[in-house]
Amino acid sequence: MRNSRQQTPRRDCPHGTSPQAAQPNQYSLGKILLIWVSVTAPMALLSGWAAPFLIPRIDLNPGLIYWWLMIVGMMWQTVVAFLVLRSEDQRWTIGALKQRLWLQTPRQPSGTPNRALYGWVILGILFVALTSDLLGERIDAPFQALFPSLTLPDYANIKNLAAPEFHGQWGILGIALVSCLFNYILGEALLFHCVLLPKMEGVFGRWAWLANGTLFGLYHVHLIGALPSIILSNLAYSWPAQRYRSNWLAVLIHGFEGVVLLAIVLWVILGSGSTI
């Protein structure tokens, strides 16, 4: 006899490895792209127009002016993230935010929390070091050869701030701390990893990590000559975050750059070296 009870439709996991269903109210492709444009366009204006306009007119190291403009762009991402969450009628309790933003202990495919999965942080850091630092120039070389006009000015390279003139300048450390806050916690990390990634599965399914890493890479118009290596290294953030339903993995892997940055800044301030 046929069961007359209505069966509940089965929802396959979008990323194909975990039984956990996607979050409700997934974003449309249009909304995803709109959010991306809302933070990418300001970075393009700040790096391509504001920096060349202000640098000849302000008596300050060009690299510092450029750095502050990039920080302003990342601050704007925090505002966008807040507005997006407000538009969702998001509950602002700690528990609700942790669930919405995937700020939780990594989950096994069965859905069981497992702290041992934080081990992916080490592998992610090694992958970023390989694709960005060790092989970055080789990966970017064909792209730069194809589009030589995309080469960034010297002031856009933060390594050029490692100069003797900054020995003893502790204010640089303050700039670095603000930069890290909005780069690895509030700005980029909050918007791209925590707000966008959990809501991209409705469009991209199990490949949301790839779409997220690509969009995050393409957002770096202020580092346009290095887009290939940036996109590749970004996958180390988004893949484990989606696979194990934890953006702490993305935040920790991405944030390791901040630890290196602060170490280099201290090295320069203390006068331990004049080059990076």
Q: What is the pTM of this model?
A: 0.86
The single-letter code of the amino acid at 85 is L
What confidence score (pLDDT) does residue 196 get?
97
Q: From CA 220, how far away is CA 141, in angstroms rounded?
A: 17
Using a pLDDT cut of 90, give the percent of the chain over it: 70
Strand partners, 107: 113
Q: How far is CA 177 from each of CA 182, 254, 261, rounded to the nearest angstrom? A: 9, 15, 9
How much is the average pLDDT of 243-272? Answer: 92
Helices (H), the chain: 29-45, 51-54, 62-87, 94-100, 120-128, 136-146, 171-184, 188, 201-204, 208-218, 227-243, 247-269
Distance from CA of residue 275 to its chain's centroid? 27
Q: Which two tokens stand for residue 234?
A: 């970004």
Q: Which two tokens stand for residue 119?
A: 């081990």
**What would the pLDDT profile of 151-199 be if each residue is shown by its tens digit?**
778 888 877 777 777 888 898 999 999 999 999 999 999 999 999 999 9
**What would the pLDDT profile of 79-115 be if each residue is shown by its tens digit?**
999 999 999 988 899 999 999 999 999 999 888 999 9
What confidence score (pLDDT) does residue 2 get?
39
On average, the pLDDT of the chain sits at 88
Asked if 121 and 252 count as a contact pair (C-beta separation under 8 A), the reply is: yes
Q: Is the pLDDT of residue 52 over 50?
A: yes
What confidence score (pLDDT) does residue 274 get?
46
Tokens 């202020």 sit at which residue?
Answer: 222
Q: Is the pLDDT of residue 15 over 80?
A: no
Long-range contacts made by residues 107-111, C-beta under 8 angstroms, separation at least 24? 107/18, 107/20, 107/244, 107/245, 107/246, 108/18, 108/244, 109/17, 109/18, 109/19, 110/18, 110/19, 111/18, 111/19, 111/20
Q: From CA 265, how far away is CA 168, in angstroms rounded?
A: 11
**What would the pLDDT profile of 26-51 be if each residue is shown by its tens digit?**
999 999 999 999 999 999 999 999 99
pLDDT class of 8 with cuts at 50, 70, 90: very low
What confidence score (pLDDT) does residue 153 get?
83
Sign of torsion, CA 249 118 232 157? Answer: positive
What confidence score (pLDDT) does residue 12 get?
40
Q: Is the pLDDT of residue 75 over 90?
A: yes
What confidence score (pLDDT) does residue 151 get?
79
